A = this chain, B = another copy of it.
Amino acid sequence: MKEAVTVIKIGGNVLDDEKDLTTFLKLFRNIPGNKVLVHGGGKKATELSKKLGVEAQMIDGRRITDTDSLAVVTMVYGGLINKNLVARLQALDIDALGLTGADLNVIPAVKRVHPEIDFGFVGDFHIHEINDERIGWLLDNGVTPVFCALTHDGKGQLLNTNADTLAAGIATALSSRYEVSLYYCFEKSGVLLDLEKDVHIPELSYDAFQDLKEKKIIAAGMLPKLDNAFNALHGGVRRVVIGNVSNLPEFEGTKLIDP
């Protein structure tokens, strides 16, 4: 039987709230066995951009990562957030190691190719190119990788990558050698049918997701997260749950099913 690995993704909502973050880190420590943390950004990158006068570049409503924006995310995600998470996990006796996709060449990527829009320094990766052997080597030696959402093109260029996509990719790549659970932590208790009431769908099949998507019942912001989550489920991840940080011990939330 394969060993278990738990991949947890946290975003800005957890990172920006000191109380939530402290709660999360303790719950994360208590998860038994191998684990991987993937973190997004949060307000700090926006705040730094504002202070530095780096304006978010948008084309057709899509965010562009120019040189200055890449420097900001490299400083905030790769430095400030990542290294503080590592130091705090070490204080909880978790042997954390902060990583970008460039470190140990774990996640090679390519600058996004798009027929009309130049997204700048945005990286897309292929799951089969993720170095699951190196990540597995770390896990097998008691190390807990802490990923920020930066990758690289193998030619010396760092690239900005979506943290939800990265978490799904890492979970999927690891599923060839481990029994992987993927838990997306966010501010709601799970996928909601009604944003006014915090009552989540306990189980969501891909067909039901498509149906809810067509009927525009699921909030637009949730769609990419769910696409990533279903990709992971279809790619071999054993369990995919979207839920609130406080429900982490039981992995409660919306469990994706693939009947």
Q: Are B74 and A77 in contact (CB under 8 A)?
A: no
Q: Which residues of B contact A97 (CB under 8 A)?
A: 103-104
Segment 74-100 of A: residues with Cβ below 8 Å from B: 74-80, 82-84, 86-88, 90-91, 95-98, 100
Asked if A143 is at the interface of the complex by the 8 Å CB criterion, the answer is yes
Query: Is A154 a contact of B91 with CB atoms below 8 Å?
Result: yes
CB-based contact A83/B155 at 8 Å: no
Interface of A is mostly: helix
Q: Cβ of A105 < 8 Å from any Cβ of B?
A: yes
Q: Chain B residues with Cβ under 8 A from A78's Cβ?
A: 78-80, 82-83
The residue that A74 contacts in the complex, of B84, B104, B141, B154, with Cβ under 8 A, is B84
A87 engages B158 (CB within 8 Å): yes
Q: Is the CB of A75 within 8 A of B86?
A: no
A143 proximity list for chain B (CB < 8 A): 104
Expressed in whole angstroms, the minimum distance between the Cβ of A174 and any Cβ of chain B is: 19
Is A150 among interface residues, defined by CB-CB distance under 8 A?
A: yes
Using Cβ atoms and an 8 Å threshold, which residues of chain B touch A96? 102-104
Q: Nearest Cβ distance between residue A19 and chain B, in whole angstroms?
A: 15
Q: Kindly state the separation between the CA atoms of A97 and B138 in the bound complex, as whole angstroms.
A: 12
Give the distance in Å from the alpha carbon of A125 to the alpha carbon of B104 in the complex: 26
Given A78-B79, A78-B80, 8 new contacts (CB under 8 A)? A78-B78, A78-B82, A87-B100, A87-B102, A90-B102, A90-B105, A96-B104, A98-B103
